[in-house]
Amino acid sequence: MESADDSQKLKITQEDFRQAETSGYCPQTHQINPMTLFAYSGDQQTDKFAHAFSAGAQAPTQQTFATESLLKQGARDQRLARLEKSAQSNSSDGSSLTKEIFNSVLPLSFEEQLKSDNQALPLREERSCSNSTLESSELNSMQMGNFNVLYQALSTEDQGILCNLNFNCFDQLGCRMLQQKICAGNDEKFGVQSNPFYNCLVQ
Amino acid sequence: MINQFGNYLCQKIIEGADANTLSIIISTISNQLVFISLNVHGTRAVQTLIEKLAHNVNSQTAETSQNERMLNHCNLVSVINALDSQIVDLTMNMHGNHVLQQFLMVFNCQGQEAPVG
């Protein structure tokens, strides 16, 4: 009876491995979802998980994959073996698993190293983006300061027109009024550039 | 720009805009420039924009700063690049073809080398 249970358990382990792979373990990123790991609590569940890892380690010998997938499988197996060790050493609460996952001091495999190198690019982009965001925010603040100076120089009527700009832009009379305002403040020498209303409108 | 009343206001703003303001306007509308050009009201605003750009490029003198020259050139190239992808649609469209005609009208032979280059 026990041997039948064991054989059944061995059959189940293949499925468990697949489940662990699909739900908990992401082969693309070689990371394990900690939330899924926390769901495995108790000795029996941990044993299942350990069996799943061991079954996964034997999987490449049974099937033939492409070179890339073999590399991925190898790196995954190394990681799984380490996880299995840590799971065996402390199978009660899975704290070592979390240590394993979040420990950045552990030596990286070749593919993981490549992966980390590739992941460095977006960080650089993010950094450059943050710089550009800083510059743009500075520019925006300067423009806002300029706008405030120009806005305060306008009359109350002009300020009211600018406040209702969203309505006036799509209204026939509003558009005509805005055009008249632009033309009215034009200086003969400097043209529309000297018009405070136009400058404020453009800002 | 595609509003029946708002396009007149846009034309007014474009007529009075300097190179910096034009640059901001072009960068804002460059993604939708073809759509605007195909519109019955938008084509007028785009034609005004082209006319203004051509005026800026052709009226450059020795006193014009290098920065402004570069900005005018960049504005023109930006508009051409935005229209370049769907130039056949513009040619066949009853409103879009006026935009291309405006290019041919406002640029003299010397100016027409700029878009090709």
A102 and A6 in a common domain: yes
Task: Using the 3D structure, point to which of A70, A85, A107 is the last residue of a domain.
Answer: A107
Instruction: Encode pLDDT of A83-142 as tens digits.
Output: 666 556 554 454 555 555 455 444 555 445 545 444 544 444 444 445 555 566 666 666
Residues A35 and A92 in one domain: yes
At residue B98, the pLDDT reads 93
Q: Which residue of B has its CA nearest to A193?
A: B16
- On whether the CB atoms of residues A114 and A125 are closer than 8 A, the answer is no
Same domain membership, residue A93 and residue A163: no
Does residue A114 sit within a domain? no
- Count CB neighbours of A27 within 10 A: 13
Q: Which of A107, A123, A144 is the last residue of a domain?
A: A107
CA distance B1 to chain A (A): 10
- Note whether A91 and A167 are same-domain residues: no
Band (pLDDT 50/70/90 cuts) for residue B1 is: confident
Residue A22 domain-assigned (yes or no) = yes
Asked if A198 and B16 come within 8 Å (Cβ–Cβ), the reply is yes
pLDDT value for A147:
73
Are A179 and B9 contacting, i.e. CB atoms less than 8 angstroms apart? yes
Per CB-CB distance under 8 Å, the chain A contacts of B12 are 178-179, 182-183
In a domain, A149, yes or no: no
Instruction: Give the pLDDT of residue A184.
Output: 78
**From the CA of B40, how many Å to the nearest CA of chain A?**
16
Indicate whether A173 and A100 sit together in one domain: no
Q: What local confidence, expressed as pLDDT, does residue A35 receive?
A: 45
Q: Is residue A184 part of a domain?
A: yes
A101 lies in the same domain as A170 = no
For residue A17, give every residue at least 6 positions away whose Cβ sits within 8 Å of its Cβ, in sequence order, or none.
A52, A53, A55, A56, A59
Q: What is the pLDDT of residue A151?
A: 77
Contact B15 A192 (CB under 8 A): yes
The four Cα atoms A48, A52, A57, A63 give a dihedral, to 10 degrees, of 150
Give pTM, 2 decimals. Answer: 0.53
Q: Count of domains in chain A? A: 2
| Residue A128 placed within a domain | no
pLDDT of the residue at A82: 67
What are B22-76's pLDDT values in tens digits? 999 999 999 999 999 999 999 999 999 999 998 888 887 777 788 888 888 899 8
Mean pLDDT of chain A: 60
Nearest to A30 by CA among A96, A76, A80: A76
CB B93 within 8 Å of CB B38: yes
pLDDT at position A37, please? 43
Tell me whether A171 touches chain B (CB under 8 Å).
yes
The better pLDDT of the pair B77, B106 is held by B77
Q: Report, as ranges of residue numbers, the positions in chain A whose pLDDT lies below 70.
A: 1-76, 78-145, 185-194
Q: Are residues A172 and A102 in the same domain?
A: no
Together in a domain, A175 and A85: no
Task: Read off the pLDDT of each residue in B9-17 and give the average, rounded to a whole number.
Answer: 90
Domain that residue A196 falls in: 154-202
A194 occurs within a structural domain: yes
